């Protein structure tokens, strides 16, 4: 119902249509935010010698890249990654894809890590913003220097 404060009576009923885009709930929070300790992922390993806390998906990927193969496989074989994605991150699609990777015995630690990392990044990495100015790449920097321009990596030194 629409009722303007400066009008004596309501103008009428307004019907709102639901949004047409499917959105994952709190996508950015899970990618970059700070989950509470009870909802975080802990890389502990088979001997529980580690206690590396990943409080979001970005940190999960970074830590995963640094843990030893034994620790990675320990959590993989237990289904810990897919369980965390489903119960704490709330992404059943990522959990299902990860579960298939966890159960694929033909994959070694490095290959399974690469696939799970790709699945996370596919869903939670922001696309490039086309309205933002492009950053000079090394190739573009070389062209600029060759054309008599300044080396952008040295511009900050001035």
97 inside domain? yes
Q: Are 36 and 77 in contact (CB under 8 A)?
A: no
pLDDT band at 6 (very low <50, low <70, confident <90, very high): confident
Q: Which residues of 110-135 are buried (b: 16+ CB within 10 A; e: fewer)?
A: eebbebbeebbeebbeeeeeeeeeee
Is there a domain that residue 154 lies in? no
Q: Evaluate whether residue 43 is within a structural domain.
A: yes
Do the domain assignments include residue 96? yes
Residue 104 domain boundaries:
27-124
DSSP lists the bridge partners of residue 126 as none
Burial label for 25, CB within 10 Å (0-12, 13-18, 19+), is: exposed
The answer as to whether 33 is a domain residue is yes
Q: Is 113 part of a structural domain of the chain?
A: yes
Domain count, the chain: 1
pLDDT (tens digit per residue) in 50-109: 999 999 999 999 999 999 999 999 999 999 999 999 999 989 999 999 999 999 999 999
Nearest to 119 by CA among 81, 72, 79: 81
153 in any annotated domain: no
38 part of a folded domain: yes
pTM of the entire structure?
A: 0.64
**Higher local confidence (pLDDT), 108 or 149:** 108
């Amino acid at each position: 119902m629409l009722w303007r404060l400066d009008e004596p009576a309501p103008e009428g009923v307004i019907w709102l249509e639901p949004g047409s885009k499917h959105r994952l709930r709190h996508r950015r929070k899970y990618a970059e935010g700070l989950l509470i300790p009870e909802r975080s992922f802990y890389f502990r390993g088979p001997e529980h010698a580690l206690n590396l806390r990943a409080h979001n998906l970005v940190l999960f990927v970074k830590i995963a890249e640094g843990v030893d193969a034994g620790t990675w496989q320990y959590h993989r074989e237990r289904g810990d990654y897919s369980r965390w994605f489903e119960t704490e991150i709330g992404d059943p699609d990522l959990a299902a894809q990860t579960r298939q990777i966890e159960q694929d015995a033909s994959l070694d630690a490095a290959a399974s890590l690469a696939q799970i990392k790709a699945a996370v990044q596919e869903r939670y990495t922001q696309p490039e913003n086309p309205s933002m100015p492009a950053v000079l790449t090394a190739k573009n920097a070389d062209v600029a220097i060759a054309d008599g321009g300044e080396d952008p990596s040295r511009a900050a030194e001035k």
